[in-house]
Chain A
Amino acid sequence: MTPNAPRYLKETPSQTAGPYVHIGLAPEAAGLRAVGRPLAGDPAAPGCPGRRIAVEGVVLDGTGTPLRDALIEVWQADHMGRHRHPEDPRANEVDPRFRGFGRVCAGFEDGLWRFETVKPGPVPWPGGGLQAPHITFWIVARGINMGLHTRMYFGDEPEANAADPLLAMIEQPSRRETLISRPEPDPGGGPTVHRFEIRLQGPLETVFLDV
């Protein structure tokens, strides 16, 4: 090797999380006494500033069957579009109760997952402009060799979504729709529930991201 040759390593390859992912990442759900305390639940604790929402859905395989062994991680900005992370220039303005990271398991019987949070604000796009409010999703399960990245945008933000630079990169309008939630406002004034189905295959296959 020449003295100035750059030294790059190869990334450790991914392998499936398998069916027993709960033991390590959600021991409470596996029926295990947790080590330490649970690492993550909802992204925003009750009392965080912002509009409270719930998000729920299923992950469907190519036959339309819900996955009952999936684990989903979510990551999001706060209600003003700021992340709790040192590389966000506005990180020190984030409310201490807001973490932005959540972990949920598909139900062992029905595959349904659900979390509560606050609706994120718009996030800057590199080089200028804003992205529409969105929540980042990462999905692992048996039969998924590499965690799948995607995003959920909000069905009640049509103007922001129409101007979003990532959504604009998706050529087919029907594919763009796979990233947009179906909001169901609560007539009683409770949190709006955003429904979001993630389809691994088929004509309505969710757009997954190479981030």
Chain B
Amino acid sequence: MKYLDEFRDEELAQGILAQIRRVLSRPWVLMEICGGQTHAIKRYGIDQLLPPEIELVHGPGCPVCVTPLEQIDKALAIASRPDVTFTSYGDMLRVPGSGRNLFSVRATGGDVRVVYSPLDAVRIAQTQPGRQVVFFAIGFETTAPANAMAVARAKELGLDNFTVLVSHVRVPPAMRAILESPHNRVQGFLAAGHVCAVMGYWEYPAIAKQYDVPIVVTGFEPVDILRGILHAVRLLESGRADVENAYSRTVTPEGNRPAQALIEKVFMQTDRNWRGIGRIPMSGWSLRPAYADFDAELRFDVAAIAPQESPLCIAGQILQGHRKPLDCPAFGSECRPESPLGATMVSSEGACSAYYQYAGSAAAAGE
């Protein structure tokens, strides 16, 4: 398809790789923020093609991976109620809570349904006025406009049987948390292109300056990722902590204004727990008081939940770029996609699942 094939062109990729080799004079550690980029990197073996001086560490940009365990447990509690139809993006169904997941709730009679778009959940609520329809509104800035729209629609339609369990997170506070860690190794960021398509990248120059790290807005095809790396290496080699846009066909500096306006109308900033990482101040969104009627946590009594994480899982360190999936003793043994211990083994954006799925390329890279 147009604008896909061209950005997978082998010859272009090789040309950019040659450029990277040419400008490189010493080792650098880059973090790709988005789990979609991690998967592309493993799938196309980009980490093997790069000169060994460039190390890519994998970021927290996997919404399924960072949704905190207590929110998963709340989802399980709500979905188990006989009066509830629980709707969710498909990836969330296999994510382990404390002991079980949404699939097992469904297997024991719970009405759990996968929806493609949150508007589908609103439609279910319209057609089933006798049931409480709950949507699991998780994700980063990319899903926030859609989730905000679902809540705004429900209010417009006057639906009294639709609520959302919100677990929204934002990228910039996570970048700051990573850079402030005493174990931080990241010297430059490949920023998540689709997050920037929504939010723009006006928040990034302040981060780049404060922490002295270049940030390059980067896409998802092999040529896009290599181009992002080339820009980041150039900036690092010339000592410039600037922000550059290497994904200009999709991202503008100001982002999508109508989407930002609706997010702002429905959500407000709040502290959030990130699974495996911990609390990050003002790192997420929750519903504004004007939309409290659509808050599943207020409608259903789920406050007193004490979550239990698998003691083997090191996903938190992986999501901050301190360690890699192959450092985990459970990887591929106790923890596999069919029986995941941590969320990073589940999601199509999780680092552990990327390493497992593309195991051949990881082994060949000698990691």
Q: Is the pairing of A and B real?
A: no
